[in-house]
Amino acid sequence: MGVSPKLVRLLQSIYRKYSCRVVHYGLISEDIAVHAGVRQGCLLSPLLFIVVLDRILLRIFNDRRRGIEWGLSSVLEDLDYADDLCLLSHTHADMQAKLNDLRQEAAKTGLKINSWKTQEMRTGVINAAPLLIGTEAVERVQKFTYLGSVVAETGGTEEDVASRIAKARGTFAQLRPVWQSRKLTQRVKLKIFRSNVKSVLLYGCKTWKVTKEISRQIQVFVNRCLYRILGIYWPETISNIELLEKCHESPIDHQI
């Protein structure tokens, strides 16, 4: 892999006779020998794990082209971030073969697929046979969350948008003391809204297929938040255009 023997020996020396201790009710345990995994808290650990996982994935794919078409000539085999893997295939047979290869190659390095955390989602697949990790069937779902975004078998963005609005609503509610504070200026409150609430609301929005209905739903939520921040309650009302102007906000469909 292009790594010098000296660096390999240095890494081996770090892990030779590696042990840890556990603190329980203020008491420190005796040394516990560690024979698997990477060192907790070590700056090298994330890099070492990624190197090992990348090596596993290279062995699995190896120009076999079992992924999905991506452009005119490219094939997308997977999405991966740290230990969060999302394998992609057009057919049940290809996906099962990928799972089998992943399980076998991972086992060679001491890694194991967690079947309880593994899910499968299908779109337009006729084959109803379950995917297997060894002898255990993989849970089939209609949607799953990957890196904070909801992916649904319908292929739309409605599920993810609904999830974003719900999370942003929860964040806004947690900051109620801020909105009700008389010590903070409106300008400061709007800055907090943009940094703490809108960042949650619009997370991953560049991947959305935005429709008029989706824009409307997001705009309705934003407007309600702005009304609260400005302290405008029924029967007092202002137009949505005036509301955005007061808050120096542009329409949501201009921001996505």
Q: Where do the structural domains in the chain lie, given as residue ranges?
A: 41-141, 154-254
pLDDT value of position 128: 83
Per-residue tokens: 94: 């290809």
Per DSSP, the three-state class of 251 is coil
pLDDT value of position 39: 82
Query: What is the DSSP annotation of 159-215?
Result: HHHHHHHHHHHHHHHHTHHHHH-SSS-HHHHHHHIIIIIIHHHTTTGGG----HHHH
CA distance 63 to 93: 17
**Which of 191, 168, 159, 167 minimizes the C-alpha distance to 178?**
191
CA distance 49 to 130: 30
pLDDT value of position 1: 61
For residue 166, how far is the Cα from the chain centroid? Answer: 16
Determine phi and psi for 227, rounding to 5 degrees: -60, -45
By the 8 A CB rule, do 46 and 83 touch? no
pLDDT value of position 234: 83
Beta bridge partners of 119: 139
Enumerate residue ranges in the chain where pLDDT < 50. Answer: none
pLDDT value of position 252: 94
